[in-house]
Amino acid sequence: MNRDASLARSAIPSVSRVLEFPAVQQLMDVYGRNLVKQAVRSAQAELREVMKGDAQAAAAALREEAVIERVEQTLKRMNQPSMQRVFNLTGTILHTNLGRACLPQSAVSAMAAASGSCNVEYDLAAGQRGDRDAHLESWLTSLTGAEAATVVNNNAAAVMLVLNTLALGRQVPVSRGELVEIGGSFRMPDIITRAGCHMVEVGTTNRTHASDYEHAIGPQTALLLKVHRSNFEMEGFVSSVPESELAGLARNHDLPLAVDLGSGTLVDLERYGLPHEPTPGEIIAKGADLVTFSGDKLLGGPQAGIIVGRKALIEQLKLNPMKRALRLDKTTIAGLEAVLRLYADPDRLPEHLPTLKFLIRKEGDIRDLAERVKPALEAVLEASASVDVVPCRSQVGSGSFPTQTLPSTALAIRPHPGESGTDKALQRIALALRRLPLPVIGRIRDGVLYLDLRCLEDEAAFQDQLHELEIPGGGPP
Ligand SMILES: *Cc1c(COP(=O)(O)O)cnc(C)c1O
């Protein structure tokens, strides 16, 4: 067998021969020489595998057209962008793995406009070097009532910068009830330590009193830190020190109070019928000296960490060399500016800001949408699963309203009972949906795949691609 196999292998055309095929020459015009060469090498490796199999298949695979087809498929695969638009039908509006906030159109246009040369750090009136923060600072101060503002890459960076600037080598008292883990790798104790500060835990898990901070404050104390319990709530025998009281305490000791708010929206969400979520403006009004929050959580903008507060402190932050390492990209600044501009007109905010639009989308509208798209999905899944319109609950995600959910509607996909096991069948359907040109991501629970339609905007694009659905493994008989 070995002699035959090596004979067969020698029948595989060499790279230089394949590159001379006229069809491959044409591929070079499209993809470039390097990529085509890589694809030919990878096709050869595949052919060597095929040669190990039966002779007939090997002979077919060696035909010129078959080799060209193989090279072209490889090139298509290689050229597929890694970052792709997807349909987030998970039921989590701000899904960190799916890019959190969906940007408004005005932000996308502003980002495109800033993608070439732009005045990111250039004062057009004076014709000289300007300040990167200038594009955002006046919006942020007018929307929060703070004296000054600066912006970095994300809220984790904002917290790092505050601690490293104001408390390097010194003590930071923080309540044991606020030593949170946000997910990913943001754990408050680690951030405090890595920022070069000494954490001093005060109070207990469930109760922390002003006197606990009072006892902890000493000559080495740099600032007081309060952290919003973004992703959990405590009930029962609990107490914590409100911002206003903590601010008074900090003032008495001549210390700044920094509050890490996490999700920071710039309007009172109650005006849209949603539960109250503290705003940076409220926390500033209660006496905090610095407030940090994210750009891509409830705010609905691009990934950024925003710091607002007292001018003298913000100036210190800007002088920290770390600020340079954490600075925002020009397109992010442009996108964030466009989002902040929308907040100037809260009446029309829901029309323009997708995050808010999704949050307040009416249950009835989502149900109507589900009824409209159901037949198309049902038609392509007919052989493998049933599709039903069912009520469900969406969550906000990314540490906002952790215990509250919103009534919504989902398409529930249940595989027909089959010999291969319904769990495997369900996984195959979920995979097929993820393999669509615009991947569809749902949520599996208790043997059912739910597509929560709260965040589905482009109904036509969703439906138009469904005919391409191919269930791997042929689906149940
Ligand atoms: C989300 C959150 C962070 C981290 O913010 P990123 O923008 O994800 O870096 C920090 N602190 C709190 C309280 C949060 O909720």
> Is-contact 116 289, C-beta < 8 A?
no
Give the pLDDT of residue 1.
Answer: 47
Please tell me if the CB atom of residue 175 comes closer than 6 angstroms to any atom of ligand 1. no
pLDDT string in tens for the chain (477-residue length): 455 555 555 688 899 999 999 999 999 999 999 999 999 999 999 998 888 888 888 888 888 999 999 999 999 999 989 999 999 999 999 999 999 999 999 999 999 999 999 999 999 999 999 999 999 999 999 999 999 999 999 999 999 999 999 999 999 999 999 999 887 778 999 999 999 999 999 999 999 999 999 999 999 999 999 999 888 888 899 999 999 999 999 999 999 999 999 988 999 999 999 999 999 999 999 999 999 999 999 999 999 999 999 999 999 999 999 999 999 999 999 999 999 999 999 999 999 999 999 999 999 999 999 999 999 999 999 999 999 999 999 999 887 777 789 999 999 999 998 756 678 999 999 999 999 999 999 999 999 999 999 999 999 999 999 999 998 875 443
Please tell me if the CB atom of residue 74 comes closer than 6 angstroms to any atom of ligand 1. no
Distance 197 CA to ligand 1 centre (A): 19
Tell me the C-alpha to C-alpha distance, in Å, between residue 404 and each of 52, 359, 394, 447: 58, 12, 9, 24
d(Cα 232, Cα 188) in Å, to the nearest integer?
14
Give the pLDDT of residue 57.
Answer: 85
Please tell me if the CB atom of residue 8 comes closer than 6 angstroms to any atom of ligand 1. no
Give the pLDDT of residue 138.
Answer: 97
Which residues contact residue 456 at a Cβ distance below 8 angstroms, ignoring those fewer than 6 apart?
87, 89, 369, 373, 462
Please tell me if the CB atom of residue 295 comes closer than 6 angstroms to any atom of ligand 1. no
Distance 294 CA to ligand 1 centre (A): 6
33-51 vs 22-31: helix crossing angle, rounded to 10: 130
Q: Which amino acid, residue 93?
A: I
Please tell me if the CB atom of residue 186 comes closer than 6 angstroms to any atom of ligand 1. yes
Q: What residue's CA is closest to ligand 1, atom 11? A: 262
Q: Which residue has the tokens 């890019």?
A: 99
Bin 95: left if φ > 0, else alpha if -120 < ψ < 50, else beta: beta
Tell me the C-alpha to C-alpha distance, in Å, between residue 186 and each of 47, 199, 256, 325, 399: 47, 15, 23, 18, 12
Question: Ligand 1, from 180, 187, 260, 328: best to mutate by most atoms within 8 Å of Cβ?
Answer: 260
Q: Token pair for residue 296?
A: 């891509």
Q: Is the dihedral of CA 143, 144, 148, 151 positive or negative?
A: negative
Q: Which residue has the tokens 């793995």?
A: 97
Please tell me if the CB atom of residue 183 comes closer than 6 angstroms to any atom of ligand 1. no
pLDDT in tens, 330-389: 999 999 999 999 999 999 999 999 999 999 999 999 999 999 999 999 999 999 999 999
d(Cα 229, Cα 222) in Å, to the nearest integer?
22
**DSSP, res 100:** S
Give the pLDDT of residue 476.
Answer: 43
**DSSP, res 453:** G
d(Cα 254, Cα 250) in Å, to the nearest integer?
6
Please tell me if the CB atom of residue 154 comes closer than 6 angstroms to any atom of ligand 1. yes
Q: Which amino acid, residue 201?
A: E
d(Cα 347, Cα 271) in Å, to the nearest integer?
9
User: Smallest Cα–Cα separation from 228: which of 404, 405, 406, 398?
Assistant: 398
Q: What residue's CA is closest to ligand 1, atom 1? A: 262
Which residues contact residue 264 at a Cβ distance below 8 angstroms, ignoring those fewer than 6 apart?
279, 280, 291, 293, 294, 297, 298, 299, 306
d(Cα 118, Cα 110) in Å, to the nearest integer?
11
3-state secondary structure of 386: strand
Q: What residue's CA is closest to ligand 1, atom 13? A: 262
Which atom of ligand 1 is closest in space to residue 227's alpha carbon? Answer: 13
Q: What residue's CA is closest to ligand 1, atom 2? A: 262
Give the pLDDT of residue 146.
Answer: 98
**DSSP, res 362:** -
Q: Which residues pair with 173 in a beta bridge?
A: 200
Q: Is the dihedral of CA 62, 63, 67, 73 positive or negative?
A: negative
DSSP 232-291: ----SS-B---HHHHHHHHHHTT--EEEEEEE--SS-GGGGTPPP---HHHHHHTT-SEE
Q: How many CB atoms lie within 10 A of CB 183?
A: 14
Please tell me if the CB atom of residue 263 comes closer than 6 angstroms to any atom of ligand 1. yes
HSE, side-chain direction, 13 A CA sphere, residue 231 = 13
Please tell me if the CB atom of residue 397 comes closer than 6 angstroms to any atom of ligand 1. no
d(Cα 410, Cα 392) in Å, to the nearest integer?
6
Provide the residue count of the chain.
477
- List, in sequence order, every beta strand (DSSP E) within 320-447: 385-397, 400-415, 440-441, 443-445
